[in-house]
Amino acid sequence: MKLLEDRIKRDGTVLPGNVLKVDNFLNHQIDPNLMYALGGEFKRLFEKEGVTKVLTVESSGIAPALMTGLQMDVPVVFARKHRSLTLTDNLYTATVYSYTKQVNNDISIDKRFIAPDDKVLIIDDFLANGQAVQGMLEIAKSAHVAVAGVGIVIEKSFQKGHQMVLDAGVRLESLARIASLDDNQVTFVTEDE
């Protein structure tokens, strides 16, 4: 998506460890107009899939997920992060290793907010090694809900997550695909790759 790629080029900075910092439009300060446009693009891509709910993980997934839910006119549920969970009877849970924080988090969704007749669209801000998406896929499996697909704002295509989602047999749509962050430069995957 050209609008997003242009914004990444303009405002993104590359940090050590293959981390792209985009905290002035996505991860700290948020540009609502851009988020609304991203939501519109996810709607265009997934509107024929019968999505009943958008699923994400707090906190950085919430902004794009919310705008997708607004555009598609469906509720948005975000998984909550915990250090570790003890009482889990009313929750669907999964353990997720955080790429940026390098710690394990348990994530959970209250069973009241996801039902077997739901078809969920999983949205997240970044796809790196795919742990966050994998956790949400696990929750979807435990809840016996269908997954319409995974929508990612920024995919780092040189890391493992892309293949992991495809191997799971799930449709993946990423609005910006980064081929490399080498030499502190953002290089996008070109159309024919």
List residues binding ligand 5GP (CB under 6 A): 19-22, 27, 60, 99-100, 124-132, 156, 161
Residue 184, marked binder: no
CB of residue 159 to ligand 5GP, shortest distance in Å: 7
Residue 168, marked binder: no
Interatomic CA distance for residues 128 and 131, integer angstroms: 8
Interatomic CA distance for residues 97 and 42, integer angstroms: 26
CB of residue 41 to ligand 5GP, shortest distance in Å: 18
Cβ neighbours around 27 below 10 Å, total: 16
Residue 103 tokens read as 């710690």
What residues have CB less than 8 Å from 15, skipping those under 6 apart?
21
Residue 176, marked binder: no
CB of residue 161 to ligand 5GP, shortest distance in Å: 4
Residue 70 tokens read as 């607004």
Between residues 145 and 153, which has the closer beta carbon with respect to ligand 5GP? Answer: 153
Residue 40, marked binder: no
Residue holding tokens 């992060």? 81
The rounded radius of gyration (Å) of the Cα atoms in the chain is 16
Q: For residue 108, say if its preceding peptide bond is cis, omega within 30 degrees of 0.
A: no
Between residues 52 and 157, which has the closer beta carbon with respect to ligand 5GP? Answer: 157
CB of residue 183 to ligand 5GP, shortest distance in Å: 16
Between residues 51 and 63, which has the closer beta carbon with respect to ligand 5GP? Answer: 63
Residues at the binding site are 20, 27, 128-132, 156
Binding positions for 5-phospho-alpha-D-ribose 1-diphosphate: 128-132
